[in-house]
């Protein structure tokens, strides 16, 4: 800080010196300029004064030239003189007048003596006075004349002087004009000079501003530095004070040190003494330890001798240990060989045991298969005993659409003890029907499916199954087959059951489940899962000569889960819906088929099975067209009528074991030929409405149901039924027993045909054990 301060001080001094130099220069220049300008001013002033003087002189001379005072005076005097002469003349005239008046008065006085004497005296006094005055005026006049004389002399004198002064003035004038000219020249020359001066002054002014600013800055800086210096001085003072105090402490400390040193010396002395004492002690202790060590050493030597003797005794033990170790080593070396030996024998034992297990397993499997076969046969037999063709009835509940009042009252009643009987009140008469099973309105989808389950599972065993929903529109066919999303019907439940059954058999069997969906409308078949649903499909015989039927182009989807089938249903619905304007109406006039094919492969035997489950939602069985339906509606009705009649015919023919079954009479029966004939199982679910207003349709449906079912009843009745199997048209008869001859004209089977059929039944029973 001091160095920087000194440096700053130096700089400050340098700047101050510079500043002083500049100020001096400036002052010198200013003085110079000032003196020069003063000189010039004084010159100018002197010249101006001279000029003024000369001008005054000139004006004075000019006034002198214009007429002197003496002349004026003389003229005045002359004028006065004249005036006085005139006055005198007037006075003389008055005097003469007075004299003449006196003479006249004397003449008169002579006359008037006494009166004019006083007046005369007064006049004479006045005359004297006037004469005195005249005398004075004469004196005055003489004086004035003298004065005039004097003045005239002086005038001459003055004129002379004037002449002289005129000459002088001319001379002077000339000189002054000369001088004036000179001075004007000088002024002109001087006038050119001030510009230079001004420039110099200006530059000086500009420089001086800068210099002043610098000065200001340096002054402020100087002030700041001075403050700093003041501060530093303060600090210095403080430090000095500190130094003084520390000097004081140093002095104190020194005194202490001295004291300590003295103490230290004393302590050293003491220590030396102590050390000496300790040395002595140490020597003593060493001596003692040495003697003790000698004693100990002796003891150790003795111990060592003992250990040596011990060691000699341990050697033989070590030898035996080494021996043992070597023998163990040998054993370890031999162990793998032993192990292999043991393993070999164990393996042999195990394989023998496995073989035994295998053989028992095979035996068990054989037995299991036999049992399975037996179960299948039993199941089959059970189904057969129940009848390959079974007819169920289902009564839907009264719905809001049925309306209210007597029209909507239930016309159907049930038998509490017999679930296969149902009574219908039709036109005041109660008609009873007996079916394989009747589901009342409160029967759930689950309950219905329970009864259908056995049929569905037989599909896995390779049987073909058909489930039909028959009934008038609105009787619940679709509800039973498809159901609702929350409460699905047979279709979805059947597939679900198939999935779970297949899963249960997955250990031995490979199963593939696929579905097709088709629709028969006006006797033409459409693929509901195809890319072109409007395309009409044909049913053809397999070219392999097996006599099997197939539909070329019918789409088949492999399904593995409920989601898959839901997608398939959705897709089918979509296709069905896009093809018509009113799905409900359309669906009631067409047959909807869901065909599920279950293909199985027994992995152990290589046995293949194929079962088909046909789920058919039939067209509405209501009698249309009787009351003059026309055009497409009539055609539809005819087609429906024809196909439902054909179905009835086929079922009739099958149940009655006819040799000829008229499958070809409709597309539906033709398509389902495989699934209706042979060991196939058929379920007809006849749907009816309980509403009073639907009672005639309900009657028709129940008649159809009972007739289908009663085919296999007692031989007498069968015969009777066989003879009177009506067409769909004849089912339409309002009252029971009004059956007309078949319009289709089936040939009634002859008794011979019947006997041959019963023989075939017998054969079948024998083969099924
Ligand atoms: P269909 O297919 O024979 O024309 P639907 O299945 O469409 O008749 O049934 C007609 C109406 O009756 C539908 O609203 C349906 O939900 C209802 N329905 C039918 N059967 C039942 C039932 N068992 N329980 C409840 N509602 C039913
Ligand atoms: Mg329907």
In which band, very low, low, confident or very high, does the pLDDT at 558 lie, cut at 50, 70 and 90?
Answer: very high
Cβ atoms 621, 701 nearer than 8 A = yes
Distance 519 CA to ligand 1 centre (A): 20
Between 70-79, 285-294, 733-742, the lowest mean confidence (pLDDT) is in: 733-742
Distance 480 CA to ligand 1 centre (A): 8
Percent over 90 (pLDDT), the chain? 36
Report residue 389: phi and psi, to 5°.
-115, 120
42 or 576, greater pLDDT: 42
Residue nearest to ligand 1 atom 5, measured at CA:
476
Beta-strand (E) ranges in 321-376?
A: none
Looking at residue 201, its pLDDT comes to 67
Looking at residue 745, its pLDDT comes to 31
Residues contacting ligand 1 via CB (< 6 Å): 396-397, 399, 471, 473-479, 588, 687
Diameter over CA atoms, the chain: 251
Residue 523 has pLDDT above 80, yes or no: yes
* Domain spans in the chain, listed from the N-terminal domain onward: 258-386, 389-578+587-710
Q: Which-ligand-closest: CA of 622? A: 1
* Binding site listing for ATP: 471-478
Residue 241 has pLDDT above 70, yes or no: yes
CATH of domain 389-578+587-710: 3.40.850.10
Residue 651 has pLDDT above 50, yes or no: yes
Looking at residue 565, its pLDDT comes to 87
Cβ atoms 497, 467 nearer than 8 A = no
Residue owning tokens 């015919």: 649
Looking at residue 52, its pLDDT comes to 87
Whole-angstrom distance, CA of residue 625 vs CA of residue 582: 19
Segment 332-345 mean pLDDT: 92
Could you read off the pLDDT of 404-430 as tens digits, one per residue?
777 678 899 998 888 989 999 999 999
Closest CA to 619 of 473, 761, 443: 473
Residue nearest to ligand 1 atom 12, measured at CA:
476
Distance 432 CA to ligand 1 centre (A): 23
Half-sphere exposure of 53 (CA within 13 A, CB side): 12
Residue 598: which residues within 8 A CB-CB, separation 6 or more? 459, 460, 498, 502, 511, 512, 513, 609, 610, 611, 612, 613
737 or 614, greater pLDDT: 614
Angle at 231 between CA 229 and CA 234, to 5 degrees: 110
Q: Ligand 1: which of 395, 396, 490, 586 to mutate, judged by most atoms within 8 Å of the beta carbon? A: 396
User: Helices (DSSP H) in 387-489: which residue ranges?
Assistant: 445-460, 477-481
Write out the residues surrounding ion ligand 2, Cβ under 5 A. 477-478
Residue 599 has pLDDT above 90, yes or no: yes
Looking at residue 629, its pLDDT comes to 63
Cβ atoms 469, 684 nearer than 8 A = no
Q: Which-ligand-closest: CA of 590? A: 2
Segment 732-744 mean pLDDT: 33
Could you read off the pLDDT of 57-81 as tens digits, one per residue?
877 776 766 555 666 777 788 888 8
Segment 610-631 mean pLDDT: 81
- Report the run of H or E that residue 343 belongs to, with start and end: helix 114-386
Segment 481-489 mean pLDDT: 94
Q: Ligand 1: which of 474, 576, 616 to mutate, judged by most atoms within 8 Å of the beta carbon? A: 474
Residue 529 has pLDDT above 60, yes or no: yes
Mean pLDDT (the chain, rounded): 82
Segment 602-625 mean pLDDT: 88
Cβ atoms 730, 626 nearer than 8 A = no
Residue 767 has pLDDT above 50, yes or no: no
pTM: 0.50
Residue 387 has pLDDT above 90, yes or no: no
Q: Point out the ligand 1 atom lying closest to the alpha carbon of residue 482.
A: 6
Q: Ligand 1: which of 443, 476, 585 to mutate, judged by most atoms within 8 Å of the beta carbon? A: 476
Distance 598 CA to ligand 1 centre (A): 29
Distance 484 CA to ligand 2 centre (A): 12
Distance 478 CA to ligand 1 centre (A): 7
Whole-angstrom distance, CA of residue 206 vs CA of residue 610: 124
Q: Which pair of tokens denotes residue 492?
A: 């979805």
Whole-angstrom distance, CA of residue 591 vs CA of residue 671: 12
* Binding site listing: 471-478
Residue 165 has pLDDT above 50, yes or no: yes
Q: Which-ligand-closest: CA of 592? A: 2
Cβ atoms 481, 489 nearer than 8 A = yes
In which band, very low, low, confident or very high, does the pLDDT at 279 lie, cut at 50, 70 and 90?
Answer: very high
Percent over 70 (pLDDT), the chain? 85
Could you read off the pLDDT of 6-37 as tens digits, one per residue?
888 888 888 888 888 888 888 888 888 888 88
Half-sphere exposure of 250 (CA within 13 A, CB side): 6
Looking at residue 267, its pLDDT comes to 92
Cβ atoms 560, 569 nearer than 8 A = no
């Amino acid at each position: 800080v001091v160095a920087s301060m000194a440096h700053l001080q130096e700089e400050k001094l340098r700047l101050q010196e510079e500043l002083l130099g500049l100020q001096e220069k400036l002052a010198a220049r200013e003085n110079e300029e000032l003196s020069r300008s003063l000189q010039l001013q004084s010159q100018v002033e002197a010249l101006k004064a001279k000029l003024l003087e000369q001008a005054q002189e000139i004006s004075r001379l000019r006034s002198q030239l214009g007429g002197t005072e003496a002349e004026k005076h003389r003229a005045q005097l002359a004028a006065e003189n004249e005036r006085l002469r005139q006055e005198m003349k007037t006075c003389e005239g008055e005097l003469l007048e007075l004299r003449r008046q006196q003479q006249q008065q004397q003449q008169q006085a002579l006359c008037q003596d006494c009166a004019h004497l006083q007046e005369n005296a007064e006049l004479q006094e006045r005359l004297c006075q006037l004469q005195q005055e005249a005398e004075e005026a004469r004196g005055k006049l003489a004086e004035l004349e003298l004065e005039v004389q004097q003045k005239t002399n002086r005038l001459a004198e003055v004129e002379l002087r004037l002449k002289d002064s005129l000459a002088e003035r001319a001379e002077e004038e000339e000189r002054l004009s000369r001088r004036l000219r000179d001075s004007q020249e000088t002024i002109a020359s001087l006038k050119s000079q001030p510009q230079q001066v001004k420039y110099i002054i200006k530059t000086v002014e500009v420089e001086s501003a800068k210099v002043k600013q610098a000065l200001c800055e340096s002054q402020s800086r100087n002030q700041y530095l001075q403050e700093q210096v003041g501060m530093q001085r303060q600090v210095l003072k403080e430090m000095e004070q500190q130094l003084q105090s520390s000097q004081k402490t140093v002095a104190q400390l020194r005194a202490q040190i001295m004291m300590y040193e003295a103490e230290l010396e004393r302590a050293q002395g003491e220590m030396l003494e102590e050390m000496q004492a300790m040395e002595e002690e140490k020597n003593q202790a060493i001596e003692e330890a040495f003697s003790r060590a000698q004693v100990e050493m002796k003891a150790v030597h003795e111990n060592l001798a003992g250990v040596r003797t011990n060691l000699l005794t341990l050697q033989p033990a070590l030898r035996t240990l080494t021996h043992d170790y070597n023998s163990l080593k040998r054993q370890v070396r031999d162990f793998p060989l032993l192990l292999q030996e043991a393993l070999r024998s164990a393996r042999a034992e195990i394989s023998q045991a496995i073989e035994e297990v295998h053989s028992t397993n095979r035996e068990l499997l054989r037995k299991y298969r036999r049992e399975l076969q037996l179960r299948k046969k039993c199941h089959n037999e059970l189904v057969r005993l129940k009848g390959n063709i079974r007819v169920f009835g289902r009564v839907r509940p009264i719905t809001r659409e049925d309306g209210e009042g007597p029209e909507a009252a239930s016309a159907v009643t049930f038998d509490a003890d017999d679930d296969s009987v149902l009574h219908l009140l039709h036109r005041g008469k109660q008609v009873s029907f007996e079916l394989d099973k009747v589901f009342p309105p409160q029967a759930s989808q689950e309950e219905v499916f329970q009864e259908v389950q056995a049929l569905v599972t037989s599909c896995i065993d390779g049987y073909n199954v058909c489930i039909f929903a028959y009934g008038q529109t609105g009787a619940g066919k679709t509800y039973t087959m498809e159901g609702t999303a929350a409460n699905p019907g047979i279709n979805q439940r059947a597939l679900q059951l198939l999935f779970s059954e297949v899963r249960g058999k997955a250990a031995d069997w490979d199963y593939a489940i696929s579905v097709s969906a088709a629709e028969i409308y006006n006797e033409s078949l459409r693929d509901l899962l195809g890319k072109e649903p409007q395309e009409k499909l044909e049913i053809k015989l397999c070219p392999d000569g097996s006599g099997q039927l197939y539909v070329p182009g019918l789409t088949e989807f492999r399904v593995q889960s409920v989601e898959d089938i839901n997608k398939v249903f959705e897709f089918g619905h979509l296709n069905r819906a896009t093809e018509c304007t009113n799905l409900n109406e359309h669906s009631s006039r067409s047959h909807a088929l869901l065909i599920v094919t279950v293909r199985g492969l027994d992995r152990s035997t290589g046995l293949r099975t194929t079962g088909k489950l046909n789920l058919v939602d039939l067209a509405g069985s209501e009698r249309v067209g009787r009351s003059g339906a026309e055009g497409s509606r009539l055609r539809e009705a005819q087609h429906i009528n024809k196909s439902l009649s054909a179905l009835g015919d086929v079922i009739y023919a099958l149940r009655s074991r006819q040799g000829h079954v008229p499958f070809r009479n409709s597309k539906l029966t033709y398509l389902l030929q495989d699934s209706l004939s042979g060991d196939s199982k058929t379920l007809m679910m006849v749907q009816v409405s309980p509403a009073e207003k639907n009672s005639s349709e309900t009657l028709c449906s129940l008649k159809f149901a009972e007739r289908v079912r009663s085919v296999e009843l007692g031989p007498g009745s069968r015969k009777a039924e066989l003879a009177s199997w009506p067409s769909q048209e004849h089912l339409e008869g309002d009252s029971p027993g009004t059956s007309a001859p078949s319009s289709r004209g089936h040939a009634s089977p002859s008794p011979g045909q019947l006997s041959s059929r019963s023989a075939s039944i017998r054969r079948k029973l024998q083969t099924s054990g």
